[in-house]
Amino acid sequence: MNAKTYIVLIEDEKNICNFIATTLTAQGYKVSAAPNARSGLSLITSGCPDLVLLDLGLPDRDGIEIIREIRTWASIPIIVISARTQEQEKVLALDCGADDYITKPFGSSELMARIRTALRHSNRLQTGSRLNQRPYRANGLVIDFEKRLVTLNGENIHLTQIEFKIVSLLARSSGKVITYDSIISHVWGPYADDNNRILRVNMANIRRKLEQNPAEPHYIFTEIGIGYRMLEDQEG
């Protein structure tokens, strides 16, 4: 009954491809690998995978185009794997519909954590929104979305409306990176100025309220040049 989770891996570098395939197989996943976009897309359309791992630099097509194409017909989680350090590339991938990214070189535990988070989110979306309504809990921080209450080790934390919107957006996608632009358009609307200053100011205030040491955050992490990632919800 317990069908294996099926992952399609599109990666042209043999060593990385072997490393990922071996790691995933050892963890009980079923994996099919393709060295280019063309065969990768055909694996996806024929096999209905639960998740796609996608290298951005492929010999035949740009990974961004592949994300756009997949997103026209499927919502399966896509994790981008890339050697590129340019933040712009990752931001573009996320804004085009990728769920997360992992930068080479990475270790197996980081890879597994990203995959588990992405699968958990996609299961939650499929099982409906009610689960999304239950409070976020991690390391003493509780965010009750319905009551609009935030407590830290049992003590009420007062957040402004804007701060609460930011925190609940991140908490609902905890474990996943959310780009600056998508936070800004979610909180201030699609026509908001796309400068990050107002977001940074709000984040500084949020961290002062939530973090023991705002310079070394434990709940909301900065992904430099890309966005923020909130500590993963501990009730799965």
- Judged by the rule CB under 5 A, the positions of this chain that interact with Ca ion are 12, 55, 57
Residue 65 or 235: the one with the smaller Cβ distance to Ca ion is 65
Return the axis-axis angle of helices 180-188 and 87-95, rounded to nearest 10°.
50
Minimum CB distance to Ca ion, residue 81 (Å): 9
Residue 33 or 138: the one with the smaller Cβ distance to Ca ion is 33
Cβ-based neighbours of 199, under 8 Å, separated by 6 or more: 166, 180, 183, 184, 187
> What's at 91, amino acid-wise?
V
Residue 81 or 119: the one with the smaller Cβ distance to Ca ion is 81
Residue 55 or 163: the one with the smaller Cβ distance to Ca ion is 55
Residue nearest to Ca ion (CB): 57
Place of tokens 């996609």: 122
Minimum CB distance to Ca ion, residue 13 (Å): 5
Residue 10 or 91: the one with the smaller Cβ distance to Ca ion is 10
Minimum CB distance to Ca ion, residue 92 (Å): 16
Residue 58 or 210: the one with the smaller Cβ distance to Ca ion is 58
> What's at 171, amino acid-wise?
A
DSSP states of 95-131: HTT--EEEESS--HHHHHHHHHHHHHHHHHHHT-SHH
Residues 54, 82: contact at Cβ < 8 Å? Answer: no
Element (H, E) at 210: helix 197-210
Element (H, E) at 72: none
> What's at 42, amino acid-wise?
S
Minimum CB distance to Ca ion, residue 206 (Å): 37
Q: Cβ–Cβ contacts within 10 Å for residue 188, how many? A: 15
Minimum CB distance to Ca ion, residue 100 (Å): 18
Residue 17 or 178: the one with the smaller Cβ distance to Ca ion is 17
51-55 sheet: strands from edge to edge:
30-34, 6-10, 51-55, 78-82, 100-103
Minimum CB distance to Ca ion, residue 19 (Å): 14
Minimum CB distance to Ca ion, residue 61 (Å): 12
